[in-house]
Structure formats: C-alpha cells, structure tokens
Amino acid sequence: MTDLNTKNDIDGGAPEELGAESMPDGSVHLAWKASANAEGYVIYYRNVGYTAWNEYAAVTGLSASVTGLPNAADYESSLRASRGSGSQRELSAGRSNVARAAVLTRS
C-alpha cells in the first residue's frame, strides 16, 4: 500500500485527464495526458471505498491496462509522473484525478 501524499517532487506537475474504461476481458484500460518533464508514470489502484493505494506498475507511455483484478468489483486509479528508476525514482508531488471503473465479469 502506498501513501500518495509522501513522495518527492519533479517539475512539470501531475498527469492530467486520466480516464478509465472497463474492457470485456476483465481489465481496466487507462489513458491520460502527458506531464512536462516526466519520463514515465506510476499507476496506483484501490477498491472503491478503501483509503490505501496499491502501486500497480511503472510505465512510459500515455496508456496502460490494469489486469488481474477480481471480477465484478469497482476500482479507482490514479497516476503520478515519474523520472528515474529504482531507489532514485522521483515522483510528482501531485497526482492525477481519480478515475473509476468496474471490472466486468468475464463470460
């Protein structure tokens, strides 16, 4: 679990306009607008109603799919801009908006 309020800061701010879409395969597809000076983005998710965030993955593009989530549940996702990697990774002080999607039951 991750506290999104206690990270380093990079110039350029948080990613903007995060959107989430439920996909028929049971995943949630995310897309967002770039942050200036970001080398990548860190995706976080949580069940709706929970306060703690889980780090899902670090990505370099402007979209990604969150997979492996249990069916028939509602999830929220958020992002932070990142620069560097490993113990040298810096994250934006702010985070993106929170986007919500339900994981569909696979047929």
pLDDT per residue as tens digits for the range 34-89: 998 899 999 999 999 999 999 999 999 999 999 988 877 899 999 999 988 777 78
The token duo for 18 is 């995060």
For residue 89, the model assigns a pLDDT of: 83
Tokens of 51: 């306060």
User: Parallel, antiparallel, or unpaired: how do β-strands 73-83 and 63-66 relate?
Assistant: unpaired
d(CA 52, CA 63): 23
d(CA 46, CA 54): 6
Tell me how far CA of residue 79 lies from CA of 37, 39, 92, in angstroms. Answer: 15, 13, 9
Whether the predicted pLDDT of 107 surpasses 60: no
Q: How confident is the model at residue 5 (pLDDT cuts 50, 70, 90)?
A: very low
